[in-house]
Amino acid sequence: MVDYLLGVGILAAVYAINALSLNLQVGVTGLLNFGQVAFVGIGAYSVAILDSHGVHWAVGFAVGGIIAGVAGALVGRLGRTLSSDYWAIATLALAELVRLVALNQDGFTGGAQGLSAVAGLWTNLSGTARDTATFATIAALLVVTYVVARRVRNGQYGRVLVLIRENPDLAASLRHDVVSAKARVMALSAVMASVCGGFYAMYISFIGPSQLLPFATFLVFTMVVVGGLGNTTGAVVGALLITVLYDGTRFVRDWIDISADQAAGIRILVIGVVLLGFLLVRTQGLVPEKVRTAHARR
Amino acid sequence: MSIELRGVTAGYVKGVSVVRDIDVHVPTKAITTVIGPNGSGKSTLLRSVVGQTPHTIGSIVVDGTEVAGVSAHRRVIEHKVAFVPQVANVFGPLTIQENLEVGGARLGRARRRQRVAEMLDTYPDLAAKSKVRAESLSGGQRQLLALARALMTSPTTLLLDEPSAGLSPAMMDSMFDAVRNTRDLHGVTVFLVEQNAVQSLEISDFGVVLVAGELAMQGPAQQILADPTVGRLYLGAA
Amino acid sequence: MTEVLIDTAVRGSIIALLAVGLTLVQGTLQFANIAHMEFATLGGYIAVALTGAGLGLLLSSVLGVVIVAVLAVVFYRLLFRRLLGSGTMIALIGSLALAIIIRAVLQLVFGSRPRYLPTPLERGMDFHGALITPSQIRLICIALALLATLAVVLKFTSLGRAIRAVAANPDLADVSGLNRKRVVDVVWMVSAGLAATSGILLSIDSAVGIELGFNLLLPVFAAAIVGGLGSTLGATIAAYALAFAESFVLQVDWGALAGGAYHLEVGYRPAVGFVLLVVMLAFRPQGLMGRTVRRG
């Protein structure tokens, strides 16, 4: 039981970092990144590929962070001339491109099989002790990410980002460099996501293209919306709840007699219904953002 | 036909209503002009009559019928109201002919064809370009097309939002002429909002002065033109 | 080369039928419906279910199209109107959620193995050195006929005029006495119907799987955006151009340029669309036939 709880806790913390990253983009700045999983993938593959060549994981994290950060800044700049919905589709396309590369460059990424036996954390420990240490590490990382995200959100820069979301023309007319602000928030979020990805690959000691499916992004969107778009604490709350829910539905076959296929369908269905339900009935989420007022919403 | 606004409050921006508690009588077959400084709520008042910015308090009675809760397109069809917005008042990618046809979408095919011909007859400037996309027209021609489109349904009440905005002085004259001719020929009740107070009041029968969302004055147009306070504030008189 | 052309005609038709619908909805509501592609998947599966219940292929297909069209209006009225009330961003996320839900439900009901429509075994015909099946010829003809009909309806009928008017200026359409809600209903029915047709044609040509719609998402969006969102003619041209590019890129021996032999992996086929899309978005966001945002 303790091991199970630790497992869920580690997963929830990993997702919470991911949700904090996505919330900075979608919730705070209004940048609809449907390709979040690409940043996670860059981090995960960097650690895994370098590990398979015997390079220490810390280097993998650094390389992944740099690649993701640059990619994030470029994607943020791509938004310069685009309306938000085109940009959203472009991010989805880019993420699929990353997945295709991961799937087809066998020599590098292990192709469809992915890369397994990625070195884990705390390999000198074992059993519950190791899980506890891993949990403590990721929890510490989550706290750091949370503090950073909160400072960004509540600082001067965060107010500019919110202004960009609510009224980009006004932001530009107040002489804020909108493009650079977007590029920077994308870069920062991408680094967060890649760290999350690197850690994820180490924890489950595997990364493959099947983990880069758009559903992975969708799951994190659900967390952010359920928690409350734009609210830093909400992202963590949403991540915890949805992780428990999604992980819990793994046991659906213990309750009803269905095929593995159908069970997978039910798990996805539950998440989809939760997201759509929140969008329809409680758009502001469980922990609403404070600046969102009646006139700011369309 | 006549429009009766009683205690109308409409529009909502950051906790305040744009126009408050307005009582205005727009008599049948007359031209009534609303003037007032920028941001006085003139356009909001006009849009509340057509239903684009529905009023929240009070009543708007068009030709004896309360129109609260009636959607814009039904006010146009059932209450014979026509509206010409200030900007974006034509369908840009559609040709002039198509613009007119959309204006008469609810008419029968034969009647629609007849009205289009009548409109092109009335406005020869448009007839010459009937197959041209509206977005390629000049400002004055667009305004004329917008007016013609609104008249397709043979409305009894015509609402115009700053018809002279952005036009050259010569264009303005012909626009105001067109408005007056419309009334004279078809007996339409005209309710318009104008920035150009002198010229619009000169063709009008009645005037309404709006200041900061509240009714400041209403009466015969000549009386308002002659009023010293109004003159000093809005008519640019010395 | 004939092979490339046949491939282009088949795949281009499938993409075009979806892209014109996507662009119509985008034009009238200023909102990109990600769930649009799922109407194709739904069409395929409903046809499978109806033929499974003993109906003929033609009847099942027509019924499938009708059912999907009605379903689309229900989705619009119950979900999208409300979502759009909270803003386009919420509606966009909501359409993604709906897409996921539809896919999950189909997986639950039909399982994840591909399903086949009962089509008679056909022999491919030799066409200038390449094979083409009668069902592929039918697919191309039906698609072209529908696209042409759509173009005629949009251009010459009062319904088409109303649709273009609502797309050009929704507020003015309202005060011109057009019933905007009804026009939008019709647009949803037509686009979903075309999407379902595309899905059924594709299912007849190959098979229907859960991922049928999703696999088309990016090429369809690429075609709609490259064509200029809101322009059905642009979307159609872009769809066939994209299909040609996809097919061509895979056929060309890129290695010959450098003196070796190298063909791009087939797995990269969808990438052609992405690359085209991203390049287009970066350099000409208004699309081929698109106009810059200017109303009235």
Tell me the C-alpha to C-alpha distance, in Å, between residue A224 and each of A19, A42, A237. Answer: 6, 21, 9
Other C-beta atoms lying within 10 Å of the C-beta of residue C133: 18
Structure tokens given for C4? 């490339």
A141-148 average pLDDT score: 96
Query: Is A92 close to C87, i.e. CB distance below 8 A?
Result: no
Q: Which residues contact B52 (CB under 8 A, 6 or more apart)?
A: B72, B83, C171, C174, C175
Q: Are A47 and A60 in contact (CB under 8 A)?
A: yes
Q: How many angstroms away from the CA of C192 is the closest CA of chain A? A: 20
Which pLDDT score, from 0 to 100, does residue B139 have?
87
Chains that touch C (3 or more CB pairs under 8 A): A, B
Measured in degrees and rounded to the nearest 5, phi and psi for residue B84 equal -115, 105
Whole-prediction pTM value?
0.88
Q: State the Cα–Cα distance between residues C279 and C153, nearest whole angstrom.
A: 33
Q: Are B43 and B16 in contact (CB under 8 A)?
A: no
Task: Give the amino acid at A276.
Answer: L
Q: State the Cα–Cα distance between residues C223 and C152, nearest whole angstrom.
A: 21
Q: How many angstroms away from the CA of C52 is the closest CA of chain A? A: 20
Q: Is the pLDDT of residue A295 over 90?
A: no
Q: State the Cα–Cα distance between residues C294 and C296, nearest whole angstrom.
A: 7
The size of chain C, in residues, is: 296
Q: How far is CA A24 from the centre of its chain?
A: 10
Which pLDDT score, from 0 to 100, does residue A298 have?
36
Residue for token pair 């996921």: C100
- The β-bridge relationship of strands B65-66 and A206-207 is unpaired
Q: Is the pLDDT of residue B52 over 70?
A: yes
Q: State the Cα–Cα distance between residues A251 and A242, nearest whole angstrom.
A: 15
Q: How confident is the model at residue A294 (pLDDT cuts 50, 70, 90)?
A: very low
- Which residue on chain C is closest to A94 by alpha carbon? C274
Q: What residues are paired with B206 via a beta bridge?
A: B32, B220
- Which residue on chain A is closest to C31 by alpha carbon? A85
Q: Tally the domains of chain A.
A: 1
Reported as half-sphere exposure (CB side, CA atoms, 13 A), residue A86 has a value of 28
Q: State the Cα–Cα distance between residues C90 and A168, nearest whole angstrom.
A: 18
Tell me the C-alpha to C-alpha distance, in Å, between residue A241 and each of A16, A133, A235, C34, C62. Answer: 10, 23, 10, 26, 44
Measured in degrees and rounded to the nearest 5, phi and psi for residue C180 equal -60, -40
> Chains A, C: CB contacts under 8 A, how many?
128
- pLDDT-wise least confident of A139-143, B16-20, C280-284: C280-284
Percent of chain B clearing pLDDT 70 (strictly above): 96
Query: Is C285 close to A269, i.e. CB distance below 8 A?
Result: no
Structure tokens given for B160? 């115009």
Query: Is C179 close to B73, i.e. CB distance below 8 A?
Result: yes
Task: Give the amino acid at C192.
Answer: A
Q: How far is CA A199 from the centre of its chain?
A: 12
Q: Is the pLDDT of residue B14 over 80?
A: no
The size of chain B, in residues, is: 238
Question: Which residues on C lie below 8 Å from A265 (Cβ)?
Answer: 104-108, 112
Q: Does residue C183 lie in a domain region?
A: yes
Residue B165 at interface with chain C, using a CB cutoff of 8 Å: no
Question: Which residues on C lie below 8 Å from A283 (Cβ)?
Answer: 86, 90
Rounded (5°) CA angle C294-C295-C296: 125
Which pLDDT score, from 0 to 100, does residue B105 have?
87
Which pLDDT score, from 0 to 100, does residue C285 have?
64
Q: Does residue A278 lie in a domain region?
A: no
Residue A242 at interface with chain C, using a CB cutoff of 8 Å: no
Closest to B216 in 3D by CA, of B199, B234, B191 = B234
Structure tokens given for A275? 């997201």
Question: At B8, is the secondary structure helix, strand, or coil?
Answer: strand
Q: Does residue C163 lie in a domain region?
A: yes
Question: Which residues on C lie below 8 Å from A275 (Cβ)?
Answer: 93, 97, 100
Q: How many angstroms away from the CA of A203 is the closest CA of chain C? A: 27
- Which residue on chain B is closest to C165 by alpha carbon? B91
Q: Are B105 and C162 in contact (CB under 8 A)?
A: yes
Question: Which residues on A lie below 8 Å from C105 (Cβ)?
Answer: 265, 269
Chains that touch B (3 or more CB pairs under 8 A): C
Q: Name the residue facing C296 among B71, B77, B88 (closest C-beta).
A: B88
Closest to B59 in 3D by CA, of B69, B73, B71 = B69
Tens digit of pLDDT for each residue in A228-281? 999 999 999 999 999 999 998 888 888 888 888 888 899 999 999 999 999 999
Tens digit of pLDDT for each residue in B25-34? 999 999 999 9
Question: Which residues on C lie below 8 Å from A86 (Cβ)?
Answer: 32, 225, 229, 281, 285
Chains that touch A (3 or more CB pairs under 8 A): C
Question: Which residues on B lie below 8 Å from C296 (Cβ)?
Answer: 87-92, 134-135, 142
Q: State the Cα–Cα distance between residues A269 and C277, nearest whole angstrom.
A: 30
Query: Is C107 close to A81, i.e. CB distance below 8 A?
Result: no
Question: At B236, is the secondary structure helix, strand, or coil?
Answer: coil
Structure tokens given for A64? 């992944």
Q: Is the pLDDT of residue B232 over 80?
A: no
Q: Which residues contact C184 (CB under 8 A, 6 or more apart)?
A: C28, C29, C76, C166
Q: Does residue C138 lie in a domain region?
A: yes
- Helix ranges (H only) for chain A are 2-22, 36-52, 57-78, 84-104, 106-109, 127-154, 156-166, 168-173, 178-204, 214-227, 232-248, 252-255, 260-281
Query: Is B102 close to C173, i.e. CB distance below 8 A?
Result: yes
Interface of A with C in 179-238 (CB under 8 A): 214-215, 218, 221, 225
Query: Is B102 close to C179, i.e. CB distance below 8 A?
Result: no
Percent of chain B clearing pLDDT 90 (strictly above): 37
What stretch of H or E contains B13? strand B3-13
Q: What residues are paired with B26 via a beta bridge?
A: B3
Q: State the Cα–Cα distance between residues A37 and A62, nearest whole angstrom.
A: 18
- Which residue on chain C is closest to A31 by alpha carbon? C89
What stretch of H or E contains B234? helix B228-234
Measured in degrees and rounded to the nearest 5, phi and psi for residue A5 equal -60, -40
Query: Is C285 close to A280, i.e. CB distance below 8 A?
Result: no
A53-82 average pLDDT score: 89
- What domain range includes position A103? 2-211
Concatenated DSSP letters for chain C?
Answer: -HHHHHHHHHHHHHHHHHHHHHHHHHHHHS---TTHHHHHHHHHHHHHHHHHTT--HHHHHHHHHHHHHHHHHHHIIIIIHHHHHT-HHHHHHHHHHHHHHHHHHHHHHH-SS-B---------EEETTEEE-HHHHHHHHHHHHHHHHHHHHHHHSHHHHHHHHHHH-HHHHHHTT--HHHHHHHHHHHHHHHHHHHHHHHHHHS-B-TTHHHHHHHHHHHHHHHT-TT-HHHHHHHHHHHHHHHHHHHHS-THHHHTS-----GGGHHHHHHHHHHHHHHH-TT-SS---S---
- Which residue on chain C is closest to A78 by alpha carbon? C282
B50-60 average pLDDT score: 86
Q: Which residues contact A156 (CB under 8 A, 6 or more apart)?
A: none
Measured in degrees and rounded to the nearest 5, phi and psi for residue C5 equal -65, -40
Q: How confident is the model at residue A50 (pLDDT cuts 50, 70, 90)?
A: very high
Tens digit of pLDDT for each residue in A191-220? 999 999 999 999 988 999 999 999 999 999
* Torsion over CA: A135, A140, A141, A145 (sign): positive
Residue B16 at interface with chain C, using a CB cutoff of 8 Å: no
Q: Name the residue facing B92 among C158, C175, C294 (closest C-beta).
A: C294
Q: Tally the domains of chain C.
A: 1
Question: At A135, is the secondary structure helix, strand, or coil?
Answer: helix
Query: Is C87 close to A89, i.e. CB distance below 8 A?
Result: no
Which pLDDT score, from 0 to 100, does residue C194 have?
98
Q: State the Cα–Cα distance between residues A234 and A288, nearest whole angstrom.
A: 7
Query: Is C92 close to A85, i.e. CB distance below 8 A?
Result: yes
Residue B166 at interface with chain C, using a CB cutoff of 8 Å: no
- The β-bridge relationship of strands B31-35 and B206-211 is parallel
Question: Which residues on C lie below 8 Å from B46 (Cβ)?
Answer: none
B1-80+157-238 topology per CATH: Rossmann fold (3.40.50)
Q: How many angstroms away from the CA of C86 is the closest CA of chain A? A: 6
Q: Does residue A281 lie in a domain region?
A: no
Tell me the C-alpha to C-alpha distance, in Å, between residue B155 and each of B112, B122, C175. Answer: 14, 16, 12
Question: Which residues on A lie below 8 Å from C217 (Cβ)?
Answer: 92
Q: Name the residue facing B94 among C168, C294, C295 (closest C-beta).
A: C168
- Interface with chain C: mutation pick from A280, A289, A292, A295, highest number of C CBs within 10 Å: A280
- Which residue on chain C is closest to B133 by alpha carbon? C296
Question: Which residues on B lie below 8 Å from C295 (Cβ)?
Answer: 88, 92
**In chain B, domain spans:** 1-80+157-238, 86-154
Query: Is A97 close to C107, i.e. CB distance below 8 A?
Result: no
Question: At B233, is the secondary structure helix, strand, or coil?
Answer: helix
- Per-residue pLDDT in tens (0 to 9) along chain C, 296 residues: 788 899 999 999 999 999 999 999 998 988 889 999 999 999 999 999 999 999 999 999 999 999 999 999 999 999 999 999 998 899 999 999 999 999 999 999 998 889 999 887 778 888 888 888 888 999 999 999 999 999 999 999 999 999 999 999 988 998 888 888 899 999 999 999 999 999 999 999 999 999 999 999 989 998 988 887 678 999 999 999 999 988 888 877 777 766 666 777 777 777 887 787 777 767 766 666 665 443 33
- What domain range includes position C88? 2-120+128-214
Q: Does residue C272 lie in a domain region?
A: no
Which pLDDT score, from 0 to 100, does residue C294 have?
37
Residue B7 at interface with chain C, using a CB cutoff of 8 Å: no
Which pLDDT score, from 0 to 100, does residue C80 have?
95
Q: Which residues contact A277 (CB under 8 A, 6 or more apart)?
A: none
Percent of chain A clearing pLDDT 90 (strictly above): 58
Q: State the Cα–Cα distance between residues A291 and A115, nearest whole angstrom.
A: 44
Q: Name the residue facing C271 among A34, A97, A265 (closest C-beta).
A: A97
Query: Is A93 close to C277, i.e. CB distance below 8 A?
Result: yes
Question: Which residues on C lie below 8 Å from B72 (Cβ)?
Answer: 174-175
